[in-house]
Amino acid sequence: MRNLDFKYNLIDPDVDKDSAYVLPQQFDIDVLHYLIRISLYPEKKEIGGDVTISAQILHTTNSVYLNFYDNLVIDSLFFNQQAVKYERSEKNLKVTSDKVLNPSDTVSIRVVYHGSPKNLGFSSFVFGEVNDISMVSTLSEPYFASTWFPCNDRPDDKALMDMYITSDSVYTSISNGKLMEVSVKDSLKTFHYKTFYPITPYLICLYSSKYSHFSETYVSAEQDTMPIDYYAIPKHLEYAKKDFAGHAKMISFFAKLFGEYPFIKEKYGVAEFLWEGGAMEHQTITGIGTSFVKGKGRYEEIYVHELSHHWFGDCVSPRSWKDIWLNEGFATYCEALYIEQVYGKEQFESKMQTLKLPVFSGTVYDPQYNMFSPTIYYKGGWILHMLRFEVGDSVFFSILREYFNTYKYGSASTQDFITVAEQLSKKDLSQFFDQWLYKPSNIITATYTWKTEEFVEKDSLYSVRITLKQTQTDYSCFHFPVNIEWFFDERTPIEKTRVYIDKPEQSFVFVFKHKPQSVMVNPHLDILGEFTETQ
Ligand SMILES: [Zn+2]
């Protein structure tokens, strides 16, 4: 998700804790497949649903617990094809079997229902209009998928999916995965999408409107081809052709950096939808708010961000919402990596500068309901940037590749990422991650002084001492490497030195052939800090 200006946040205090939403018993099952049939009735703002969930039992039980908002009316419910008892609370559904369910049993739960879905969170289910034309769209992240279909709404419980969307035949309906078939019956059109890779409930989406469709082709390094499908409202078609261009190049960039685009048997795509906060990385079909499609090519970074989530977020999903920085910090840094590659070092540094805020409230790990704040996006991105500086480029990119490769099509925790980083760098990174991820620390602030201490005439050498002092008040002593650049007269090249800081105040002595005229600490923004020279 990319939320421009962070204007939007979760607003419903009752649903902002996933602990209250996901019950412990929901860890007793592993969903294998969702068969979702949704009929849309935009005039009535209602849906009809027929969802069959196939799941494997992990722990002995006689009940299966799911998420499902109780404003939707259940018309019938079947457990292994039998009508059974069920109980509901506001957000949960408990289905009880008449026999004991044992580990490795596979069960099916079919729920037939109808009603008007609540629109919670960012825009979990919206019946809207664009230029007087009906549009229906969803955005379920983080825990609102069950406002429109029953599911085990944990980010780590992935399953395969078949989605059938039925609406009036004037509308094009879109979902995740590959379009298998479009069938017409009377005045209704049904679109069948199928996933060949697992998907987590919060990434399951639908969009339906009078879309104009256009496409291009991605060709992989192995010469496999895949469609990139674009869906714009008719009035925006020419704008969309300009704004959406360039995705094939972006996919190639990330495929080369991290490993092949992980949904290559399906598609990538972008569709306009009804969340005007920004964009959302719905697996294989990113949604972009209609107000961002202007034909000016201004929002390239948003498209890069959402595409990069297909590696980090969609293919490797967070184990829990405590690990949300593994999505958003990564996608933010991927924006910067793309800028570095396409526009060069200087633009890359100015991007990192925009991600440097003087204050970052809360922690990056487990931010509670503050999941979509600059702390997660910007500081999360900075953590990767500083890790790169700590371990060096080649180890850093091997860490990202190894992490992706190890956890692809599954989920990973923050500790899983740290373990990969430590194994590949052969370094103890506990201090690094503790100070940046787990502590509610802001940025480093430090002052420094320097002076030429002596001139050794015989050898024409200058001895120079620099003293750095950490002055931030919320964290006593950061440990970090930092570059220092020394400037001499115009004819003498810059000297670069690197020191490792692990004390609140520390001095270093360097010997140069010339007398330094000036000095810069952290000149290329390797470290999230503000370094000021004092006398
Ligand atoms: Zn994002």
- Cα(299) to ligand 1 centroid in Å equals 14
Angstrom distances, CA of residue 173 to CA of 71, 121, 179, 314, 400: 24, 23, 10, 21, 35
Host H or E run for residue 424? helix 414-425
d(CA 530, CA 243): 36
What was the pLDDT predicted at 337? 98
Question: How confident is the model at residue 18, as a pLDDT?
Answer: 47
- Ligand 1 centre distance from Cα of residue 34 (Å): 25
Closest CA to 177 of 156, 157, 190, 192: 192
The predicted-structure confidence for 332-356, as pLDDT tens digits, reads as follows 999 999 999 999 999 999 999 999 9
Pairing of strands 444-456, 278-280: unpaired
Task: Using the 3D structure, point to which of 207, 233, 257 is the last residue of a domain.
Answer: 207
pLDDT above 80 (res 10)? no
Average pLDDT value for residue range 218-234: 97
Contacts of 37 by beta carbon, 8 Å cutoff, 6+ apart: 49, 50, 51, 164, 166
Summarised one tens digit per residue, pLDDT across range 350-379 is 999 999 999 999 999 999 888 999 999 999
Helix (H, G, I), strand (E, B) or coil at 532: strand
What is the domain-level CATH number for residue 489?
2.60.40.1840
- Against a cut of 0.85, is the pTM above it? yes
- Ligand 1 centroid to Cα of residue 23, in Å, is 26
306 alpha carbon to ligand 1 midpoint, in Å?
6
Q: In the structure, what pLDDT confidence band is assigned to residue 219 with cuts at 50, 70 and 90?
A: very high
Q: What is the token pair recorded at 45? A: 């703002």
| CATH number assigned to the domain comprising residue 118 | 2.60.40.1730
Distance 329 CA to ligand 1 centre (A): 8
Domain co-membership, 414 together with 456 = no
Which of 171, 188, 207 is the last residue in one of the domains?
207
CA of 375 to the centre of ligand 1 (A): 13
Span from the CA of 27 to the centroid of ligand 1 (angstroms)? 26
User: Based on the domain organization, do 361 and 458 belong to the same domain?
Assistant: no
Angstrom distance (rounded) from CA 420 to CA 15: 33
Q: Measuring CA to CA, how many Å separate 500 from each of 174, 468, 511?
A: 52, 11, 17
Q: Exposure pattern of 182-221 as b/e (b: 16+ CB <10 Å)? A: eeeeeeebbbbbbbebbbbbbbbbbbbbebbeeeeebeee
User: What's 273's domain CATH number?
Assistant: 3.30.2010.30
Q: Both 474 and 519 in a single domain?
A: yes
How remote is the CA of residue 330 from the centroid of ligand 1, in Å?
A: 8
pLDDT at 16: 46
371 and 506 assigned to the same domain: no
Answer whether residue 173 shows pLDDT above 90: yes
Q: What is the pLDDT confidence band of residue 8, given thresholds at 50, 70 and 90?
A: confident
CA of 283 to the centre of ligand 1 (A): 12
- Helix 325-343 to helix 414-425 angle (10° resolution) is 50
CATH number, domain containing residue 397: 1.10.390.10
Task: Say how many C-beta atoms besides its own lie within 10 A of residue 162's C-beta.
Answer: 17
* Residues with a beta carbon under 5 angstroms from ion ligand 1: 1, 328, 331
* Residues 366 and 455 placed together within one structural domain of the fold: no
Q: Residue written as tokens 């419910």?
A: 77
Q: Quick one: which H or E segment has residue 381?
A: helix 380-391
b/e sequence 19-37, b meaning 16+ C-beta within 10 Å: eebbbeebebbbbbbbbbb
355 CA distance to ligand 1 centroid (A)? 14
Domain boundary among 285, 310, 335: 310
| Of 194, 119, 187, 118, nearest in space to 159 by CA | 194
Any residues with CB less than 8 A from the CB of 142 and at least 6 apart, and which? 10, 18, 121, 155, 202, 321, 324, 371
For residue 133, how far is its CA from the centre of ligand 1 (angstroms)? 28
Å from CA of 219 to ligand 1 middle:
25
| pLDDT (mean) for 418-440 | 98
pLDDT tens for residues 436-468? 999 998 999 999 999 999 888 878 899 999 999
CA of 373 to the centre of ligand 1 (A): 11
The beta strand positions in 186-307, using DSSP E, are 188-194, 206-209, 212-219, 225-232, 268-273, 278-280, 286-289
- Burial (Cβ within 10 Å: 0-12, 13-18, ≥19) of residue 94: middle
C-alpha 1 to ligand 1 mean position (Å): 3
Residues 190 and 119 in one domain: yes
Residue 460 Cα, ligand 1 centroid: separation in angstroms?
55
Nearest to 528 by CA among 390, 322, 343: 390
The DSSP element (H or E) to which 65 belongs, if any, is strand 61-67
Stated as kind and residue range, the H or E segment containing 239 is helix 237-243
- How far apart are alpha carbons 393 and 383 in whole angstroms? 14
pLDDT, residue 11, reads 53
51 and 140 together in one domain: yes
Mean per-residue pLDDT, 409-414: 98
Show the domain range for 394. Answer: 318-438
Q: From ligand 1's centre to the CA of 515, what distance in Å?
A: 48
Distance 281 CA to ligand 1 centre (A): 7
Length of the chain: 535
> Are residue 346 and residue 203 in the same domain, yes or no?
no
Instruction: From 394, 427, 383, select the one nearest 526 (Cα to Cα).
Output: 383
- What pLDDT digit, counting tens, does each position of 61-118 carry? 999 999 999 999 999 999 999 999 999 999 999 999 999 999 989 999 999 999 999 9
379 and 458, same domain (yes or no):
no
Domain tally, the chain: 4
Q: How far is the CA of 214 from the centre of ligand 1 (A)?
A: 25
Distance 470 CA to ligand 1 centre (A): 33
Residue 101 structure tokens: 């369910």
> What percentage of the chain carries pLDDT values higher than 90?
93
- The Å distance, Cα 333 to ligand 1 centre, comes to 10
189 lies in the same domain as 251 = no
- 123 has a pLDDT exceeding 60: yes
Q: What is the pLDDT of residues 30-69, one digit of tens each?
A: 999 999 999 999 999 999 999 999 999 999 999 999 999 9
Q: Are residues 498 and 479 in the same domain?
A: yes
The backbone region for 290, taken as left when phi is positive above 0, alpha when psi lies in -120 to 50, beta otherwise, is: alpha
> Is 174 in the same domain as 228?
no
Rounded to whole angstroms, the Cα distance separating 512 from 362 reads 43
Gap from CA of 304 to ligand 1 centroid (Å):
10
Q: What is the DSSP string of 145-193?
A: GGGTS-B---TT--BEEEEEEEEETT-EEEESSEEEEEEEETTEEEEEE
